[in-house]
A = this chain, B = another copy of it.
C-alpha cells in the first residue's frame, strides 16, 4: 500500500467528472495519485434536479469517491478544501476542518469545477438557492415539498393569496438545468401530488421559467429551442424570456422585462439555475502566471490545457477557458483524459504532440418523463427516442458506482416507476431554515410586505 518514494506524484484537485476521470485514466500509470475533494462524493451533477424533486436519492447520483476508486491502488482519496496552489514551489495546500497541510507534486490536474453564481448578488442565494451540490438539492427538496404543505395550511385557513405564493415557483435560468427543473416541477404538481391535498389543487401551481436571454436552451439549435419552449408551455410552464432579475427576497422576485418595465412575482420558492463561476483557484493560478480570468472566472489555458510556462499544471473542465467550450461533463471528461495521457507520455509513453481537441458527442436535455431533445452534430432527435438516448448515455457515464447493475435496477425502479418516493423534509428544515426563510424573515422585511394576513382573500 505504501507508495514508493520514486514514483511521480500526481495531485488531482476535485472529485467531479474531471477529477474522477483523470484518476481513472491514470489507473495503470506508475504514479502516486492524491485526489483531494471538497466533498466525499463524486456528484453526477446532470441528475441533481432529480434529487431536488424527489425522484432519486443522493446516493443514487453521488457515490463515495473513495468507493469508486477503492480498487485503484495508486490513488488515495482525501477530504479537503484546497486553499492554495504554488506553481513555482510546486505545492498544494489543503485544509480539512481547519487542519492545513501542504503537498508537493510532479504533475497537477486542477479540476475544481464551478459554483453557482448570482452575478454579484450573493444575497439572492438565501432566497433562491443554486443547483450545484447535494446540499443545494436537499435544500430545494425541502423547500419545494414544504411549499405545498404550507400552501395547504394557508388555504385551509382562508389565506388564499399566501397559498398561491407558496405554490408559485420561479426557476431562473433556462439552460438544461432550468428546463429540467421547471419540467419536473410541472410534473410534480400536475401528476405526482394531484391526490395529496384537500384544500389546494396542486395542479394549479404556477411555474415560471425565466431567463435574461431571448431563448430557452440558448446553446441548442433554434428549432430545438422553439420546440422546447412549446413543450414547456404545454406542460403549463410560463416561459418568461428577456427577463432580467433585479431583486429576490423571501416572498418573491422582481425582474425587468424587455421594455425595461419592472414586475414582481409573489413566489416563496425560487431556484437559481442561471450562472456559474469557476472555483476561485482559477484566479489564484491566473495571478501567478500573469493571466486574466474571463467573465465566468475561468482561466485561459494553453492548447494542451496547461498553464504557460508550467507544463506540469493542467486545468480542466469548468475552470478552463478554451475554444469557447461549454461547461458540460463531456468537456471535463475528455480534457482530463487528455491530461492523463500527457502525464503517461511523460513517464515514457508515446509522446503527445497534438493539442487537445474536443469531440462533440452532442447535447441533450430532458423536458419531461419520456421526452427529451438531443442534437448530435447536425442530427436532431426529439421526444421519446431522445429520452431513451438520454437515459442510455447517462447510464453509461454513471461510472461512479460500485455496481452498475445495482444502480441500473435502482434507477429502473425509481425512474420508470410512477413513484416519487424521495420527498423527505427534515425536521431541521421544518423547524430551522424553512421557518426562517418563510415566516420569521417576513416581519424583518416589512418594506416588502405585500399584505398577507389571515383574512386576505383570493
Q: Write out, one digit per residue, whether chain A residues 133-161 have a CB within 8 A of any chain B CB (1) or not (0).
A: 11100100000011001101100110000
Within residues 408 to 458 of chain A, which ones have a CB less than 8 A from any CB in chain B? 409-410, 413-414, 417-419, 421-428, 430, 434-435, 438-440
Binary contact readout A73-110 vs B (1 if CB under 8 angstroms, 0 otherwise): 00010111000000000000000111101000000000
Could you list 7 A-B pairs, sorted by A, with CB under 8 Å? A40-B425, A78-B152, A78-B153, A97-B438, A98-B439, A135-B428, A403-B417
Complex Cα distance, B413 from A409, in Å, reads 7
A39, B425: Cβ atoms closer than 8 Å: yes
Is A198 an interface residue, CB under 8 A from the partner? yes
Interface size, chain A (Cβ < 8 Å): 69
A361 within 8 A of B: no
A1 CB–B CB distance under 8 Å: yes
User: Which of A63-71, A271-279, A311-319 binds B?
Assistant: A63-71
CB distance from A248 to the nearest CB of B (A): 21
Within 8 A of B (CB), among A201-230: none
User: Which residues of A line the B interface, CB within 8 A?
Assistant: 1, 38-41, 54, 57-60, 62-64, 66-67, 70-71, 76, 78-80, 96-99, 101, 133-135, 138, 145-146, 149-150, 152-153, 156-157, 195-199, 401-403, 406-407, 409-410, 413-414, 417-419, 421-428, 430, 434-435, 438-440
Shortest CB-to-CB span from A444 to chain B, Å, is 14
Pair A424/B70 contact, Cβ less than 8 Å: no
A138: chain B residues within 8 A (beta carbon): 426
A-B contacts besides A39-B430, A79-B430, A134-B424, 10 pairs, CB < 8 Å: A1-B198, A54-B59, A63-B421, A64-B423, A64-B424, A67-B423, A76-B156, A78-B156, A98-B440, A99-B439
Provide the bound-state CA to CA distance between A79 and B151, in Å.
11
Return chain B residues, CB-CB under 8 Å to A157. 101
Q: Name the one of B59, B198, B414 contacting A423, with C-beta atoms under 8 angstroms.
A: B59
Q: Which residues of B contact A62 (CB under 8 A)?
A: 424
Complex alpha-carbon distance, A62 and B62, angstroms: 21
A196 touches B66 (CB 8 A): yes
Contact of A197 among B66, B417, B426, B435 (CB under 8 A): B66
Whether the Cβ atoms of A410 and B414 lie closer than 8 Å is: yes
Within the complex, the shortest CB–CB distance from A93 to chain B, in Å, comes to 14
Residue from the list B101, B134, B427, B439 in contact with A38, Cβ < 8 A: B427
Question: Which of B41, B145, B435 contacts A64, CB < 8 Å?
Answer: B145
> A57: which of B145, B409, B418, B422 is its contact (CB, 8 Å)?
B422
- Beta-carbon contact of A40 and B403 below 8 Å: no
Which of B54, B58, B66, B421 is within 8 Å of A60, CB to CB? B421
How far, in Å, is A196 (CB) from chain B's closest CB? 5
Cα of A168 to Cα of B130 in the assembled complex, Å = 37
Q: Which residue of B lies closest to A413 (CB)?
A: B409
Collect the chain B residues with CB atoms within 8 Å of residue A99's CB: 153, 439
Residues of chain B lying within 8 A (CB to CB) of residue A133: 427
In the A-B complex, the 6 residue pairs with the closest CB atoms: A57-B57, A59-B422, A70-B195, A59-B421, A76-B198, A58-B424
Measured between C-beta atoms, what is the minimum distance from A343 to chain B in Å? Answer: 20
Cα A417 to Cα B197 with chains together (Å): 36
Known: A135-B427, A427-B135. A419 touches B406 (CB 8 A): yes
- Whether B57 lies near A58 (C-beta < 8 A) is yes
How far, in Å, is A156 (CB) from chain B's closest CB?
8
- The answer to whether residues A406 and B402 also contact, given A138-B426, A423-B59, A427-B39 and a CB cut-off of 8 A, is no
Measured CA separation A39–B423 after assembly (Å): 12
Give A62's nearest chain B residue, CB to CB.
B424
Q: Once the chains bind, are B421 and A401 in contact (CB under 8 Å)?
A: yes
